[in-house]
Amino acid sequence: MRKYFIAMAATYFLGVFNDNFFKQVVLLLAVEAGMNRIQGEATQLFSLPFILFSAWGGWFADRFAKRQVVIGAKILELIAMLFGAYGILSMNWPCIMTMVFVMALQSTLFGPALNGAIPELYPTEHVTRANAVLKLVTTVGILAGMAMAGFALDQRWVATRIPFGRILVAVAVVMIAVFGVAVSFGVFSMPASGSGKSFPWTGPVDSVRDMLHLKDDPLLLLAICCQGFFYFLSLLAIMVINTLGVQELGLSLTATSFISVSLMAGVCAGSMAAVRLTSYNRWTHVLAPALAGVGLSLAGAGLLVFICRKDIFAFLIPVIMSAGFFGGVFLIPVTSFIQIRPSSDSKGRIIGVNNFFGFTCMLASGWFFPMLDNLFQPSVSMIVLGVLSCVAGLVIIQLLRLCV
């Protein structure tokens, strides 16, 4: 079992590293060029395939062996990275945006298959721990990808017509995608469940219909809504951090990336803490306190900019890390419940519904960010996000009473 899990973790690690490395490169280049709107547009474009095709991804994961779907998705990732490499070298924004869309499309197919394989590999009592370890591995991938984005762009090893940092990025994303395809052949999954459901040609309509059916399982519906809110809030926080670092604080691309890295490092630590604090049968008690912790930390980060401009970088890191810690405590039990709760022949479909809603929330964050950016300085936007998180915690308290 260990070798299968290692292959699964390595496949996931390489995928999230490449996704976050390239996406952060795009966001930093956009902010550096004063094109803040590109952050929102790229976020919307990345979310769109999950909204349109999540039902398809769930169907493939239920109909075919999950290993086959994972391998096919990784090949699609390689194609996306070839588009992206050309776009970065030529600074062709339409090509870069095409790559963002294709990258998201492969993730739409990849997610239900790989996440659905975890309960096939481990018994129920070990799924939360497996998810925490996998979250640790993937968070390290996210951390490394986001940290290396600014660092790679800042490199000037040799004088070249195209800035050397962009050449380094282009070569790296293609090589990592090739390695990811090779590793994916070691992923384990059971034979296809043979779901007899017809292909969901209407895509998002099927996803909406499946989500409405979840009213018969209000706790599962609440879990999916919680994860969607987490994606909405965390993506907004990343975009605000980018503008806060580069434009309001005047930090380098590398330093700005490390602020985002501290957020994800906190998620990593919080994920491991969630293993001790929660189980499949006992997890709802952490939701509201965790969101309160996220909210107070984000608001505190915004206030720090007004209170202490000197050495602000050193003060921001632990506060942002605290927000990530509480986010990890919030996320892991929700993710585990969503994976375990559905029956074996509908796990892919439910994970597809989860992706559909989660990335609808991410699309909403892409719409919301330009409004936030136009109305407030980034530091004030952090305070707004903190208040929003605390309000969401109060709403969850009320919804849990209805689920009992």
> 352: which DSSP letter?
H
Structural domain count, the chain:
1
In a domain, 133, yes or no: yes
200, 188, 182, 187: which is closest to 60 by C-alpha? 200
> What confidence score (pLDDT) does residue 227 get?
92
Contacts of 331 (CB under 8 A, 6+ apart): 135, 227, 230, 267, 270, 271, 274
> What confidence score (pLDDT) does residue 116 get?
65
> What confidence score (pLDDT) does residue 385 get?
97
In a domain, 293, yes or no: yes
State how far Cα 146 lies from the chain centre: 12
Helices (H), 33-92: 37-63, 66-90
The two structure tokens encoding residue 110: 């990849």
Measure the CA–CA gap between 66 and 224, rounded to whole angstroms: 22
In a domain, 194, yes or no: no
Q: Look up the CATH number of the domain holding residue 58.
A: 1.20.1250.20
In a domain, 190, yes or no: no
Burial class from Cβ neighbours inside 10 Å (0-12, 13-18, 19+) for residue 313 reads middle
> What confidence score (pLDDT) does residue 307 get?
85
Written as tens digits, the pLDDT of the chain (404 aa) is: 566 777 777 888 888 888 888 888 888 888 877 777 787 788 778 778 877 877 777 777 777 777 788 888 889 889 888 888 998 898 888 888 888 888 888 877 777 766 666 666 666 666 667 766 776 777 678 777 877 888 888 888 888 888 898 999 999 999 999 998 988 887 766 666 555 567 676 767 877 888 888 888 999 999 999 999 998 998 899 889 989 998 899 888 788 888 888 888 898 889 889 988 988 788 999 999 999 999 999 999 999 988 876 778 889 999 999 999 999 999 988 988 887 888 767 776 787 788 788 878 888 888 898 899 999 999 999 999 999 999 999 999 999 988 76
In a domain, 195, yes or no: no
In a domain, 139, yes or no: yes
Q: How many CA atoms, within 13 angstroms, populate the side-chain half-sphere of residue 366?
A: 18
> What confidence score (pLDDT) does residue 393 get?
96
| Amino acid in position 10 | A
Segments forming the whole domain that contains residue 217: 2-185+204-403
Q: Work out the angle at residue 96's Cα, subtended by the Cα atoms of residues 90 and 101, and round it to the nearest 5 degrees.
A: 160
Q: In the beta sheet, which residues pair with residue 279?
A: 282
In a domain, 191, yes or no: no
Q: In the beta sheet, which residues pair with residue 282?
A: 279
In a domain, 196, yes or no: no
Burial class from Cβ neighbours inside 10 Å (0-12, 13-18, 19+) for residue 75 reads middle
